[in-house]
């Protein structure tokens, strides 16, 4: 019987070179910007006790339907879940370590959600993001948004819009929720069956519905920004005037409620117009001033964002920016003697910081020259019997088609000079 063949699990992908180098380059862009803004990197576990996630989003799909959860082999077993996002883990880490505030961290890594896969939606996807704990100054909100904006700008993306909203605070929410619920109940008959179910669980999330039949009711619904307390309104005004000061464009989007329940006050999303509507959210974030306390810590304000690496790169493809970095070697070594010269020449070049590659298995000169061409290398170094006898090697510039011989001992210096041009 034939052995079974396997494929990557549904909703996951192997990321091959050069796309993998492109993703690393993107993370490096983000790391450099975050580092400059005073953030330190955090690495946290890929899985947590499921309670970490349940505490923060018992009414959201991400937590109720989309978690990859499992029991470990302990006695009694511990109920764990692959992280669907990182804010909850970081708040858990904050409560565990009690670092000095403000605590400013950045991260990059995979998240897991049991979603229905489609273009730009995967079960394992990568996010880069930041979180700041311990500051409720609205100017921090401005800086956080400016950091995300600078990231998209640095990648070369020109068609990413910032959508902004305030979800108020626990004091203004009850009155708003009352007004919203009354409106939705009045119009429940006009809503989709799914929206009616959501209405019972969490009226705010009805505003998230993308279903056409719900839009008229949603459009007529009261909006949070009209129900802010003076304090939350002043906080929001400070955020918008800070953005104005930095010349960062935004659109007030009163329906923006975002997927997770823990958000308060400032919330924002970045929409890439180069992508189709259903996947145009390339990142988002906001304040979550109650989350640390929900996880058993002291009352601590927090704010952060998560940017989707996969979708951001799809937006880069659509705009034709941020290509994969070149991965061609500087030199391809062709050894028609016995292969051992290619071994030492490659190692000498690599030790000197140059990128060198070769062919294996004693192939013909013609086949090796073909491989050299395919590799994209700028130079081929050719070692043959003639060269060996004179202590010299041939260096061929594959772009210009020029060829010269140099003493073997001077090769590294020669290559260094030739590739620096």
Residues that bind ligand AMP (CB under 6 A): 85, 113, 115, 120-122, 125, 127, 259, 281-284, 306, 308, 310-311
How far apart are the C-alpha atoms of 140 and 118, rounded to whole Å? 35
Q: Which one, 306 or 415, has the nearer CB to ligand AMP?
A: 306
Helices (H) and strands (E) in the chain, counts: 16, 16
CB of 311 to ligand AMP, least distance (A): 4
**Other C-beta atoms within 10 Å of 412: how many?**
17
Q: Which one, 60 or 368, has the nearer CB to ligand AMP?
A: 60
Contact residues for 217 (Cβ-Cβ < 8 A; gap 6+): 183, 184, 187, 190, 191, 195
Q: Which one, 251 or 347, has the nearer CB to ligand AMP?
A: 251
Q: Which one, 276 or 362, has the nearer CB to ligand AMP?
A: 276
Q: Which one, 255 or 350, has the nearer CB to ligand AMP?
A: 255
What strands lie across the sheet with 331-335, from one edge to the other? Answer: 356-358, 331-335, 379-383, 392-397, 403-407
CB of 346 to ligand AMP, least distance (A): 39
Paired with 106 in beta bridges are 41, 130
Q: Which one, 84 or 168, has the nearer CB to ligand AMP?
A: 84
Taking CB positions, which residue lies at the least distance from ligand AMP?
Answer: 308
SS (H, E, C) 309-355: HHHHHHHHHHHCCCCCCCCCCCEEEEECCCCHHHHHHHHHHHHCCCC
> Residue 181 has which token pair?
């619920």
> Residue 276 has which token pair?
């189709």
Paired with 48 in beta bridges are 81
Length of the chain: 421
- Concatenating the DSSP letter of every residue in 162-215 gives EEEEE---TTTHHHHHHHHHHHHHHTGGGS-HHHHHHHHH-HHHHTT---GGGH
Q: Which one, 257 or 349, has the nearer CB to ligand AMP?
A: 257
CB of 84 to ligand AMP, least distance (A): 8
CB of 316 to ligand AMP, least distance (A): 13
CB of 46 to ligand AMP, least distance (A): 16
What strands lie across the sheet with 79-82, from one edge to the other? Answer: 47-49, 79-82, 69-71
CB of 87 to ligand AMP, least distance (A): 8
CA 394 to centroid of chain Cα atoms = 45
CB of 281 to ligand AMP, least distance (A): 4
Q: Which one, 240 or 267, has the nearer CB to ligand AMP?
A: 267
How far apart are the C-alpha atoms of 287 and 268, rounded to whole Å? 9
Q: Where are the alpha helices (DSSP H) in 98-135?
A: none
CB of 232 to ligand AMP, least distance (A): 21
CB of 96 to ligand AMP, least distance (A): 22
**Other C-beta atoms within 10 Å of 1: how many?**
3
Q: Which one, 62 or 369, has the nearer CB to ligand AMP?
A: 62
CB of 21 to ligand AMP, least distance (A): 20
Report yes or no: 265 and 166 within 8 Å, Cβ to Cβ: yes
CB of 19 to ligand AMP, least distance (A): 15
Q: Which one, 130 or 282, has the nearer CB to ligand AMP?
A: 282
Specify the 3-state DSSP secondary structure of 121: strand
Q: Which one, 53 or 122, has the nearer CB to ligand AMP?
A: 122
If you compute the radius of gyration of the chain from its CA atoms, what whole number of angstroms results?
A: 28
- Give the DSSP H or E segment for 233: helix 230-246
């Amino acid at each position: 019987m034939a052995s079974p063949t396997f494929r990557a699990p549904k909703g996951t992908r192997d990321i091959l070179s050069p796309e993998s180098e492109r993703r690393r380059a993107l993370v490096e862009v983000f790391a450099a910007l975050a580092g400059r803004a005073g953030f330190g990197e955090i690495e946290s576990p890929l899985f947590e006790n499921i309670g970490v996630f349940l505490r923060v989003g018992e009414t959201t799909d991400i937590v109720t339907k989309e978690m990859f959860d499992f029991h470990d082999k302990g006695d009694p077993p511990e109920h764990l879940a692959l992280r669907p996002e990182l804010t909850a883990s970081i708040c858990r880490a904050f409560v565990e370590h009690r670092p000095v505030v403000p605590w400013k961290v950045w991260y990059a890594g995979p998240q897991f959600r049991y979603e229905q896969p489609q273009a730009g939606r995967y079960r394992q996807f990568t996010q880069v993001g930041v979180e700041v704990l311990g500051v409720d100054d609205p100017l921090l909100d401005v800086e956080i948004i400016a950091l995300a904006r600078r990231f998209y700008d640095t990648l070369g993306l020109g068609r990413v819009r910032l959508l902004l909203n305030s979800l108020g605070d626990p004091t203004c929410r009850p009155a708003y929720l009352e007004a919203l619920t009354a409106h939705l109940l009045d119009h429940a008959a006009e809503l989709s069956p799914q929206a009616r179910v959501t209405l019972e669980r969490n009226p705010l999330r009805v505003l998230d519905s993308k279903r056409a039949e719900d839009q008229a009711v949603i459009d007529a619904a009261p909006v949070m920004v009209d129900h802010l307390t003076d304090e939350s309104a002043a906080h929001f005004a400070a955020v918008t005037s800070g953005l104005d000061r930095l010349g960062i464009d935004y659109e007030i989007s009163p329906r923006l409620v975002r997927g997770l329940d823990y958000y308060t006050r400032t919330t924002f999303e970045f929409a890439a117009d180069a992508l189709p509507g259903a996947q145009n959210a390339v990142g988002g974030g906001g304040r979550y001033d109650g989350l640390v306390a929900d996880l058993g810590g002291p009352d601590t304000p927090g704010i952060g964002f998560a940017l989707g690496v996969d979708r951001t790169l799809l937006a880069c493809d659509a705009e034709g920016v941020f290509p994969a970095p070149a991965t061609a070697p500087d030199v391809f070594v062709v050894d028609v003697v016995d292969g051992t010269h290619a071994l030492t020449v490659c190692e000498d070049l690599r030790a000197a910081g140059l990128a060198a590659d070769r062919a294996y298995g004693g192939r013909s000169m013609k086949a090796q020259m073909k491989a050299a061409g395919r590799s994209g290398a700028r130079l081929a170094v050719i070692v043959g019997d003639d060269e060996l006898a004179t202590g010299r090697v041939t260096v061929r510039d594959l772009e210009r088609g020029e060829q010269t011989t140099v003493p073997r001992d001077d090769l590294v210096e020669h290559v260094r000079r030739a590739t620096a041009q």
